[in-house]
Structure 1
């Protein structure tokens, strides 16, 4: 009788843990998607993106924000090094999507736009 009860409790706890993990993962994905949409909408107005560019930039921003949101237990130095690599990768991808004048505007406003990216992850 005790073994049956212990087994049922273990099953219940396992189910609850899995449900919690699913909810946390879904919430993180929603946060990244919402943040990417917010950032990309800002960029659309700033850079006059067409629909094709918008969808490509949205995918780039989702990938970038997802990477930034990963590994929350890393030290500040580790996060800074990774962020620099992520920034370079994002800039390279954006350069292939944006035309020359759009990219120049993007680069000129990059430091000011950092606040938009930071807000997107809150």
Structure 2
């Protein structure tokens, strides 16, 4: 049916889902078996395929059309990365400010300065 990049770890899961779908289709007889199976498998493949293709297409050197869904996911990923970078920067700055405050409130021996006790 399809081949997944092993990096994403989806191949065995989709293959198991397809085997289960094929078994269900076979229980209903062999009339229009291929069409019934391919229609059922389409739903099992759609999401993992879009994830894999979307991840591959986020790299500019990968050739292929970028659907609106892929472009949207790319924008979302960029925004998520910006939010994460802002969080990390905020965390680092908070630690830096706290360290500066502690240093300002202590003498060279690490004891609190009397005039700055809270």
Higher normalized contact order (CA 8 Å, seq sep 6+, divided by chain length)? 1
Q: Which has the higher helix share?
A: 1
TM range (shorter): 0.3 to 0.5
Larger of the two Rg values belongs to structure? 2
TM-score, normalised via structure 2 length:
0.37
